[in-house]
A and B are shown apart, each in its own frame.
Chain A
Amino acid sequence: MNHSHHRRVTGALVAIAAGTLLLAACGSSGSSDSAASSDAAPAGESCTVKVGVATGQTGGLAYVDVPSLEGFDIWVDEVNAAGGIDGKFRVETIVKDTRSDAAQSATVAAELLGEGISFLITPGDADPSIAAGQLAQEAQVPAMSWFGSSPVLPVAVGDFMFSNAFGDNAQARVLANYATQQGYTTAYTLGSPDSAYTSNLPRYFKEAFTSNGGTVVGEGTYTMGQPNFNVIADEIKALNPAPDVIMTPAYEPDFPTFLKAIRGAGINTPVLGTDGIDSPTTLALGETAEGVVYTTAGVLANEGPMGEFFTKYNAKYGKDPEAIFAVTGYELGNVLNAAVTNAQSCDPVAIKDAITNLEGVQGITGTISFKGGDRMAIREIALIKVTGGERSLVEVVIVDPATVPAA
């Protein structure tokens, strides 16, 4: 009896796999005839900017994509209430869930491109954004990631792919400089080969830290979602010389697990993290997370220009924003606003050219530029220290592109 169960179970699994492949194939075959069919009104005449949003409303990227879209929607409401961008270009969004899956991101992007969009928004991570962006590149429609910070993203796709985030090489530079200022001369890095973000950040950090005269004395790797980090903790304890600082791009659920494991093992070495851990989960870790320093887009606090955003967010959603991504999502609207205003057109190619030349667009956290960069946003990076369960600002930095490790 068990044997026949076994066989049938295997059969069912094979059928599922085959079905998935077939769906993926059907999805991507639609892309060839999806060249942008935006009705290109003559420059200056009013038209509707159709924005396709391929976003992970469910799954592993929801922690970035959900708040990003919430912020962006606030901008859309605002701009349409004022008669559209520059008073004449109304914004229409078409939102489709990618389930945080790269193959599904491509399928969804193909569907959106087929609807004649002028601009595509892709998930807040490089891998699904590359999958979606390649189709946009082929269709000559500009695409921008919510906050995918891997600088390989625009390189892998082409001149129609942008990201609203600073590059990981830029945040690694900020962390390396901070480490050197603190007098740290040896470091241990922990990365994961499972994503561009987690595999490249330790490499950028090593390059920047070494150029400052520091030494990376150990480099560990983990598998995303691995059950525990006890082996890694033992490995760090055995290092000779012991590192002055630990740098990792791990984010939840791996970051809390890692942090608990090393603190549990009695390792009190300072830890540097990256923008993936800028979430209430990190702050709620209490004593364990005390003193962790990380880079992010800005300090999420109900004051100054961000306080105004808090009010708007509260009016629409009835709560305070939990992640900086709500703010950066709104800022993606600021970028689109500036690009369409300059282009005076809904034509995808004109919008792409305008984004490439944007300089000093006023956002909430600061200004955002693309001119002279590698299609990653040139924007302020905030260095934050967890103090008593709160974010406290260490400093705000704009990185000189010349000092940034190569993508």
Chain B
Amino acid sequence: MDAILTYIVNVVSLGGTYALLALGLAVVFSVLGLINFAHGELMTLAGYALLAGILLGVPFWAAVLAAVLVGGVAAVIMETTAFRPVRNANPATLLMTSFAVAMLLQVIFQNFISARGQAVPVPSLFTGSIAIGNAQVSIIQAISIVVSLLSLIALKVFFDRSRSGWAIRAAADDFETLRLMGFRASRLIAIAFLISGLLAGIAGVLWVMQRGSVDPLMGLKPVLAAFVVVVIGGLGSISGAVLGGYLLAAIEIALQTWLPEGLAPYRDSLTFVLVIAVLSLFPNGLFGKRVAEKV
């Protein structure tokens, strides 16, 4: 029973972070058809902003808020400077641009901050654990569960209730028609990037609080995981990104928990085998639309 409870806690905390990241990718994909590989660098940037805030001595909550905002603003700047000029080019160009932005930022972090990781002194209030039934849950895990769930709920409200949210969901279905109906593409794309950056900022803060350090390449692994999540969930599906996040976490944690130690080197390969299995049953992802091939 404890093992199951512990498992669920681990899945929900990691899955929440994956869901936030994947949503960030999905929101941009729905308006631009672009998987933004520089998304991970927005996380890294938020991590450095959090560190800067702490070092400057501002209250922790203010540093967190600033870090999340930095993620959002940086995403909008990224869109206007890097992606807008190539917006109408083919998707491969956009993809290459996102790789270039990612590498550029990594090198900037390395050369202007440090190639080494920087410790982020999170207040000691956040180390320690609380008991839920017979299971111990670390405070940071509990925070990441609550924050990711709240963010997802807030986003759900935004998508259901606001005109922009509604428009982004519609864009995921058919952006061209939406534009014909009089929506300004630039505004919608900027909003999508802003949301995506804020989500990266939140995920970045949660990530750094768990890890205790921030380094120039920090965003690489999570963005790859988020990419897998988006593919499992179905490219362009927003609810798929959320469920995909929890599904990938469930697979990863199950393998970490129950895979015999001798098979440990195959853990990542097995994760991807399961992902391939899901995709061979659902070629468009779990929630992807079936699209008839145009001949």
Which A positions have Cβ atoms within 8 angstroms of B? 1-6, 8-9, 11-12, 15, 57-60, 62-63, 66, 193, 219-221, 223, 225-228, 230-234, 237, 252-253, 256-257, 259-261, 263-266, 279-288, 322-323
Mask of B119-152 contacts with A, CB within 8 angstroms, 1/0: 1010010011100000010111100000000000
A385 CB → nearest B CB, Å:
18
Query: In this assembly, does B96 line the interface, its C-beta being within 8 Å of a C-beta of chain A?
Result: yes
- Of B73-81, B154-162, B187-195, B260-268, the one contacting chain A is B260-268
If A5-B235, A12-B95, A260-B212 touch, does A279 touch B116 (CB 8 Å cutoff)?
yes
Q: Which residue of B lies closest to A288 (CB)?
A: B127
Query: In this assembly, does B294 line the interface, its C-beta being within 8 Å of a C-beta of chain A?
Result: yes
Name the contact of A219 in the complex, choosing from B95, B117, B140, B261 (C-beta under 8 A). Answer: B261
- Chain A residues within an 8 Å CB radius of B106: 58
Contact across chains for A252 and B10 when beta carbons are under 8 A apart: no
Name the contact of A12 in the complex, choosing from B96, B115, B207 (C-beta under 8 A). Answer: B96
Contact across chains for A260 and B35 when beta carbons are under 8 A apart: no
Name the contact of B13 in the complex, choosing from A4, A230, A282 (C-beta under 8 A). Answer: A230
Contact across chains for B217 and A60 when beta carbons are under 8 A apart: yes
Give the docked Cα–Cα distance between A252 and B128 (Å): 21
Q: Which residue of B lies closest to A219 (CB)?
A: B261
Query: In this assembly, does B186 line the interface, its C-beta being within 8 Å of a C-beta of chain A?
Result: no
B49 CB → nearest A CB, Å:
17
Give the docked Cα–Cα distance between A199 and B91 (Å): 41
Give the docked Cα–Cα distance between A252 and B117 (Å): 7
- Chain A residues within an 8 Å CB radius of B236: 2
Contact across chains for B127 and A231 when beta carbons are under 8 A apart: no
**A1-B175, A5-B91, A58-B110 are known contacts; what are 20 more A-B pairs with Cβ within 8 Å?**
A1-B33, A3-B291, A4-B294, A5-B235, A12-B95, A220-B261, A221-B264, A223-B268, A225-B220, A227-B14, A227-B221, A231-B10, A237-B136, A253-B218, A257-B212, A260-B127, A265-B129, A266-B128, A284-B119, A285-B121
Give the docked Cα–Cα distance between A385 and B113 (Å): 27
Q: Which residue of B lies closest to A218 (CB)?
A: B261
Query: In this assembly, does B215 line the interface, its C-beta being within 8 Å of a C-beta of chain A?
Result: yes
Contact across chains for A227 and B174 when beta carbons are under 8 A apart: no
- Interface majority SS (helix, strand, loop, mixed), chain B: helix
Give the docked Cα–Cα distance between A289 and B128 (Å): 14
- Chain B residues within an 8 Å CB radius of A256: 117, 119, 211-213
Contact across chains for A231 and B256 when beta carbons are under 8 A apart: yes
Name the contact of A253 in the complex, choosing from B107, B215, B257 (C-beta under 8 A). Answer: B215
If A2-B291, A231-B257, A264-B129 touch, does A252 touch B116 (CB 8 Å cutoff)?
yes
Contact across chains for A231 and B117 when beta carbons are under 8 A apart: no
The CB with the most chain B CB atoms within 10 A, among A59, A227, A234, is that of A227
Query: In this assembly, does B164 line the interface, its C-beta being within 8 Å of a C-beta of chain A?
Result: no
Query: In this assembly, does B17 line the interface, its C-beta being within 8 Å of a C-beta of chain A?
Result: yes
Q: State how many residues of chain B have any CB contact under 8 Å with chain A.
A: 62
- Interface majority SS (helix, strand, loop, mixed), chain A: helix
B101 CB → nearest A CB, Å:
15
- Chain B residues within an 8 Å CB radius of A266: 128-129, 136
Contact across chains for B212 and A12 when beta carbons are under 8 A apart: no
If A2-B33, A230-B10 touch, does A63 touch B210 (CB 8 Å cutoff)?
no
Query: In this assembly, does B280 line the interface, its C-beta being within 8 Å of a C-beta of chain A?
Result: no
Contact across chains for A227 and B33 when beta carbons are under 8 A apart: no
Contact across chains for B115 and A9 when beta carbons are under 8 A apart: no
- Chain B residues within an 8 Å CB radius of A252: 116-117, 213, 215
Contact across chains for A59 and B217 when beta carbons are under 8 A apart: yes
- Chain A residues within an 8 Å CB radius of B222: 227
Contact across chains for B115 and A6 when beta carbons are under 8 A apart: no
- Chain B residues within an 8 Å CB radius of A221: 261, 264-265, 267
- Chain A residues within an 8 Å CB radius of B256: 231-232
B183 CB → nearest A CB, Å:
16
The CB with the most chain A CB atoms within 10 A, among B10, B119, B210, B284, is that of B119
- Chain B residues within an 8 Å CB radius of A225: 220-221
14 sample A-B contacts, Cβ–Cβ < 8 Å, listed by A number: A2-B33, A57-B115, A223-B267, A225-B221, A227-B225, A228-B14, A228-B141, A253-B213, A257-B211, A280-B119, A281-B213, A284-B118, A288-B127, A323-B116
Contact across chains for B217 and A265 when beta carbons are under 8 A apart: no
Name the contact of B116 in the complex, choosing from A4, A62, A261 (C-beta under 8 A). Answer: A62
If A9-B35, A223-B268, A253-B215 touch, does A2 touch B119 (CB 8 Å cutoff)?
no
Give the docked Cα–Cα distance between A226 and B235 (Å): 24
Contact across chains for B90 and A253 when beta carbons are under 8 A apart: no
If A231-B10, A257-B212 touch, does A193 touch B129 (CB 8 Å cutoff)?
no
